[in-house]
Amino acid sequence: MFMPLEIPFGAVMLYNVLKLKKGITQDDVELAIGEMCNVVKNTYGDEAGGFIGGQVFRFNGFISEEGSFDTSQLTDDHIAIVTYWESFEQHERSHADHTFKEKFQNLAEYCTDTYEIGYEMLWQGEPEETPEKS
């Protein structure tokens, strides 16, 4: 459940933002997120379904002053769900399914807004191993 993901080159990534209603905490939505994520991984986690893996993040309030982020555009408390798929079409088919829609609607009741945008992978890499310094 908490293992590293191996994302094959060419995968698509969907970034889903759930802006929480005032007073709602991560603890309030944990069960709804878990149920929704279980439907996705257990129903669409094969070749036909196309689900590769996913991650859930909670906005923690820190903002990089070194990046290009406009700090005047601070956001409300939110949760980000990042999922990786073989194709955008497989993602859309999974999310059109009645069971998924029901679980997502349960989660959306805790939110003021949700949106999901997709990305095509252009590059990936990791640090190259260097010889040990003596």
- CATH code for the domain in which residue 38 is found: 3.30.70.100
Answer whether residue 1 shows pLDDT above 80: no
Assigned domain for 132 exists? no
What is the tally of helices (H) and strands (E) in the chain? Answer: 3, 4
What would the two tokens of residue 3 be?
A: 């293992």
Residue 131 lies in a domain: no
Three-state DSSP class for 99?
helix
| 60 confidence band (pLDDT: 50, 70, 90) | confident
Q: Write the CA distances from 26 to 5, 22, 35, 58, 124, integer angstroms.
A: 23, 12, 14, 7, 30
Residue 7 maps to a domain: no
pTM (2 d.p.): 0.85
On whether residue 5 sits in a domain, the answer given is: no
Mind listing the pLDDT tens digit for each residue in 76-129?
688 999 999 999 999 999 999 999 999 999 999 999 999 999 999 999 988 988
Beta partners for residue 53, in sequence order: 84
How many domains would you assign to the chain? 1
Q: Is there a domain that residue 130 lies in? A: no
Q: Report CA dihedral (32, 77, 85, 64) to the nearest 10 degrees.
A: -150
Domain that holds residue 26: 12-61+75-120
